[in-house]
Structure 1
Amino acid sequence: MVSMRADGLLRLGTTARVSVAGAESTVAVGLSRLGHRVRWVGRVGRDEPGELVLRTLRAEEVDVSRVREDDDAPTGIVLFEQRLPDVTRVQYYRAGSAGSRLAPADVTTAIEAGTRLVHLSGITPALSPTAREAVTAACDHAAEHDVAVCLDVNFRSRLWSADEAADVLTPLARRARVVVGSPDELALVGGVEDLLRHGVAEVVTKHGAEGAAVTTENGTLDAPAHRVPVVDSVGAGDAFTAGYLSGWLDGVGLAERLDRGTACGAFAVATRGDWEGLPTRAELDLVGSAGTALR
């Protein structure tokens, strides 16, 4: 989507900063900055907002060759309003958008030989029946080609009810190798122990400012969050996911995966915007260097 971040109250009229937002695109940018080859799959309108989305992702070295430009539907928009210093009000305008028209054919051809991981968000199947079919098709195609799947539950109450989400996302979560979510989100798809019983290898719990944990058949490992001044909390969870999956792709241990995830989350909350402040691999160690001038 295109994002508009208001500088003041929308009801009074204000200026706004235009950029790009979206859970999956934030993960894609985060992984790309950490040195991984990434492809983002979706639909945008054949319009100027769509051009901004594609241009931004190309600039971040994310492959958009399989993105479909829709002639008949607009690119979605999201509005951010900083109502209080630590409270952001978000309004979505994507009903009938190009992204909501995602279909199975849009995603299956993007999973090629050599693909190691398919990252899915619980937001996508909430957008429309065809988007729901597309996510299921991606899982099917990944399974046929022995490609690992990561599902971030990412429950959005403005898109559907908890009961609807549970009915759709629980079967998807049980098919994933890695499932990510807050405690409430993981409970929505059966809980940590149930997911492990159904074959999920790693269940990652995001605790926000308190850090994160990963549970496998061997037990649970916890990691604290890095303490940094919070400028904007939007996108922190997706930044964490990007860092964690970067460690997964690199084959490092669980502790290092969590540490990389919390480092990315710290960079995200310390800067305004969903993805703009995400680190490169060379910058990961800067977390904890408060008050230092790099000369």
Structure 2
Amino acid sequence: MEKLDVVTFGETMVLFNPEQMLPLEYNHKFLKQIGGAESNVAIGLQRLGHKVGWFSKLGNDPFGRYIHKFVRGEGIDTSRCKYTDEAPTGLFFKEKRSSTDIRVFYYRKNSAASLLSEEDLDEEYMASAKILHLTGITPALSASCRKAIFKAIEIAKKHNVKIVFDPNIRLKLWSKEEAKDILIQIAKEADIILPGMDEGELMTGKKTPEEIAEALSFGQNKTVIIKLGEKGAYFESGDDKGYVEGFQVTQIVDPVGAGDGFAAGVISGILRNEPTSQAVRRGNAVGAIVVGVNGDVEGLPSSEEVEQMLNGQKDGQDVKR
């Protein structure tokens, strides 16, 4: 079996993105795209030159086939994807009231991906990867998805596969209390944790990046990276810690997916054996590029574009840091 750099799994939905910046009820034309945290990260990593596998359970319908073809077309290994006739592929709509006020409406309850279970995991396949990427979205979808997440962690531990965990909290899917309990359980098993400030506060009750990072280390040798939006990120990895400044963005077109881009950049840096601070800076660069393009995956950059950003150049223009 061919070795993979990263394996990830979870729900990807068809996204209907309005052409105009109006309340949703007044929009009549939409772009059909895809969106899903795990597939966003997978595509981001593939474009950065890594070998990635992604799988899900898709509805045996036109939307499920569209997602499968799109992700496979990006060069991702989708050989472990499965179709089901028991439930439809999930959908979601974006509502753009301004460049900074973007709302999301999900139609994913009882979707095909919520039927994912332990039986859908291929141990040999997952053991072939260097990194297992997980998010906090999948365990919120259903009890069977939750069991699949913990089984995946068990497999990764057994085969010394490093676990990267992005809490990615979706409070439309479960309560704060339930989310906190499960996400803390997953974080304790992860090697690298990538929360935003809101997620870190919910999980730990702490208010500063330093306090959150310390709490999420659980007294173990973990790497915790706190996303701070336009301000960059704060990281702690053993005795190595500090703030990494973000990149100035002149125009935000669509901020959704920036966190997934950041995760792809960080994981790419880790796979390149970069120091944590440099991996975080790479994540900041990818996130800054992503927000300038409409859609969840359309703005994910190539390695060349990221290097231009890191070196202070983007499309031939100076980039401020």
TM-score range, shorter chain: over 0.9
CA drift at 1:291: 6.6
Conservation of the 8 A alpha-carbon contact between 1:28 and 1:62: yes
**Matched AA of 2:299:** G
CA drift at 1:289: 2.8
- Could you tell me which of 243, 247, 251 is aligned with 1:222? 243
CA distance in 2, matches of 1:69, 1:291: 41
Cα deviation digits, residues 4-57 of structure 1 (max 9, x gap)? 011243212410000110111100000000111100021111111111111111
Does residue 289 (structure 1) correspond to residue 313 (structure 2)? The answer is: yes
Conservation of the 8 A alpha-carbon contact between 2:237 and 2:276: no
**Matched AA of 1:131:** C
CA distance in 1, matches of 2:241, 2:173: 32
Q: Give the alignment's Cα RMSD to 1 decimal.
A: 1.5
CA distance in 2, matches of 1:198, 1:134: 27
Secondary structure in 1 matching 2:230? helix
Identical residues among aligned pairs (%): 37
Counterpart position of 1:274: 296
CA distance in 2, matches of 1:261, 1:143: 25
Task: Give the direction of change, closer, same or farther, for the CA distance of 1:291–1:71 in structure 2 (3 Å limit).
Answer: closer
Where do residues 235-250 of structure 1 align in structure 2 (5 Å cutoff)? 235-250=257-272
Residues matched between the structures, number? 293
CA distance in 2, matches of 1:113, 1:159: 30
CA distance in 1, matches of 2:243, 2:81: 37
Counterpart position of 1:205: 226
CA drift at 1:208: 0.6
CA drift at 1:175: 0.4
CA distance in 1, matches of 2:293, 2:195: 22
- Could you tell me which of 216, 232, 244 is aligned with 2:254? 232
CA distance in 2, matches of 1:202, 1:89: 31
Does residue 107 (structure 1) correspond to residue 121 (structure 2)? The answer is: yes
Does residue 251 (structure 1) correspond to residue 273 (structure 2)? The answer is: yes
CA drift at 1:88: 0.4
Cα deviation digits, residues 62-94 of structure 1 (max 9, x gap)? 111001111121110010010223110101111
Conservation of the 8 A alpha-carbon contact between 1:9 and 1:83: yes
**Matched AA of 1:5:** N
Does residue 160 (structure 1) correspond to residue 174 (structure 2)? The answer is: yes
**Matched AA of 1:193:** E
Does residue 2 (structure 1) correspond to residue 14 (structure 2)? The answer is: yes
Secondary structure in 2 matching 1:181? coil
**Matched AA of 2:131:** L
Where do residues 123-162 of structure 1 align in structure 2 (5 Å cutoff)? 123-162=137-176
CA drift at 1:219: 4.0
Conservation of the 8 A alpha-carbon contact between 1:175 and 1:199: no
Conservation of the 8 A alpha-carbon contact between 1:119 and 1:151: yes
CA distance in 1, matches of 2:221, 2:170: 23
Conservation of the 8 A alpha-carbon contact between 2:127 and 2:156: no
CA drift at 1:221: 2.0
Task: Give the direction of change, closer, same or farther, for the CA distance of 1:78–1:170 in structure 2 (3 Å limit).
Answer: same
TM-score (norm: length of structure 2): 0.87
Conservation of the 8 A alpha-carbon contact between 2:126 and 2:156: no
